[in-house]
Chains A and B, each alone.
Chain A
Amino acid sequence: MSRIGKALYQWLDERLHLDDLVTFMDKKSVPVHRGSIWYYFGGVTLFLFIIQVFTGILLLLYYKGSDQLAFESIQFLMSKVSFGWLIRSVHSWSANLFVLSAVIHMFSVFFERAYRFPRELTWLTGMLMFFIALGFGFSGYLLPWNELAFFATKVGTEIVGVVPVVGKPLMVLLRGGEEVSGATLSRFFGFHVAVLPGLFVVLLSVHLIMVQRQGMSEPLEEGHQQGARRNTIPFFPNFLLRDMLLWLIVLNLLAILAVFFPWELGKKADAFAPAPAGIKPEWYFLFMFETLKRFPAKVLVVEGEVLGVLLFGVAGLLWTLVPLWDRKRDQGRRNRVLMYVGIAVVVYILVFTIIGWLA
């Protein structure tokens, strides 16, 4: 360290007691085992979120959030602004990789049973962030005000509307009126750039503090050897460097995708044009889309869509609350049934996503 650097460190240390932090960082370690690879996906998700914030702020410099101007402002951004196409393309691709990485992180935590005692709250904050991530995707999709976005938003908000009792008022609240209109765009813009990021950052802080407090979860089998010498690596610098290397790889992947597969803008939304053939939601909603498509119009006396939406709601709730009802894992025992349920969920999502993709 140079003399100035040392002096600066000392100045800060006198006021903030940095020595404690350095000792702590020095001692922090990460367990090593056959499932260690999955630890990196939380970090990758975080990295992609940071990219979203960064590129999102850049897009805000040119975007205009109104039904008259939104489409044109992005057209301008992509054709006139230097590298505007790149920033938008990175934002769109990063959004997709962000959701993908969060999905992988969620399923790895599920199958590694890392949500069991004492990490129930970490899982819960993670799930809430996952739902917010879907909210980010859904609200951001509308902002270019193109044809696909317009109908996707109509369908998505209408699905909220079919929920009994609270659905209708909630739909009006989301749309800013009875129909999807400029008012909806204003609201979604507000959700996307203020409400959701605010909530997300609070949850993210809690999530990270808890991971920090409790350390990383280890698989059950490894946990049994608590007394024995555990295999670990130091967090700083070993784990951090590996983390950063992966981030660099992700950034490169993102650049390749954004440059070679630039995101399209499509046609401007027109409330008086029919929904275009081949319309589809984003890939992470495809399995639900395909399922709803297959539901019959009526099941007994209930409308098919109401039943479908309620089933997804209940399934999502059960999934979110899994640490509370999976008692076996708390006691350190395996729960085979849940393992099979998890596998069935993955297979179902994969199959229906592929069917939706090919259709």
Chain B
Amino acid sequence: MNDQSTVGGPQTKRDFLKIVLGGGLLAWLAAVMYPLVAYLKPPKQGEVQVTSVKVGPVTGIAEDSGTIVRFGNKPVILIRNASGEMRAFSATCTHLDCTVQYRKDMGMIWCACHNGRYDLSGRNIAGPPPRPLDEYRVIIQGEDVFLSKNT
């Protein structure tokens, strides 16, 4: 009945309706889906930009120890080695986001989750971590220790 060669008025009318209705349906779907998808995406929180934090007096940090310091909403590990020298690194393991710790017995930075190891310069030396830890600057002003982003 609807021979292709006899494309006439009714056929075009039908095509026209198909496009209008089909397009309308797509637009309707998009109008429903867009707010839903957007809703699932969490809004960016107005985060306070932290550029430096005060840790405390130098005397409060024991030699041969590691302390986790709150840097904004990120953990930073402050290491003081046996000779009293201080360095700080991001405490977030570069493998899968766990928080690392200082291991006195190994003399290195260790991640408990998958046995990742970093030396005291933050270099990944064993286990699965693919990258070194980001370093933070340790600033000593008078008696106090401050950490700041290494930009």
B97 contacts A173, C-beta separation under 8 Å: no
Given A292-B114, A304-B130, answer yes or no on A275-B99 (Cβ-Cβ < 8 Å): yes
CB distance from B54 to the nearest CB of A (A): 16
CB distance from A156 to the nearest CB of B (A): 9
A274 contacts B99, C-beta separation under 8 Å: yes
Of the four ranges (under 10, 10 to 19, 20 to 34, 35 or more), the interface on chain A belongs to 20 to 34
Check B88 for interface membership: any CB of A closer than 8 A: no
Residues of B within 8 A of A278 (CB): 112
Residues of A within 8 A of B98 (CB): 151, 154-155, 275, 279
Given A158-B96, A305-B96, answer yes or no on A293-B128 (Cβ-Cβ < 8 Å): yes
Given A154-B98, A172-B42, A274-B91, answer yes or no on A303-B73 (Cβ-Cβ < 8 Å): no
Of the four ranges (under 10, 10 to 19, 20 to 34, 35 or more), the interface on chain B belongs to 20 to 34
A274 contacts B96, C-beta separation under 8 Å: no
Instruction: Tell me the complex Cα distance, A83–B37, Å.
Output: 42
Check B108 for interface membership: any CB of A closer than 8 A: no
B97 contacts A158, C-beta separation under 8 Å: yes
User: Which of B45, B75, B130 interacts with A305 by CB under 8 Å?
Assistant: B130
Enumerate 16 A-B pairs (CB-CB under 8 Å) in ascending A order. Answer: A155-B97, A173-B40, A176-B42, A271-B75, A274-B77, A274-B100, A274-B112, A275-B100, A277-B112, A279-B113, A292-B114, A293-B114, A293-B115, A293-B128, A297-B127, A297-B130
B112 contacts A273, C-beta separation under 8 Å: no
Instruction: Tell me the complex Cα distance, A297–B130, Å.
Output: 5
User: Which of B41, B68, B128, B130 interacts with A274 by CB under 8 Å?
Assistant: B68
Instruction: Tell me the complex Cα distance, A182–B95, Å.
Output: 23
CB distance from B102 to the nearest CB of A (A): 8
Residues of B within 8 A of A177 (CB): 42, 45
B41 contacts A151, C-beta separation under 8 Å: no
CB distance from B94 to the nearest CB of A (A): 9
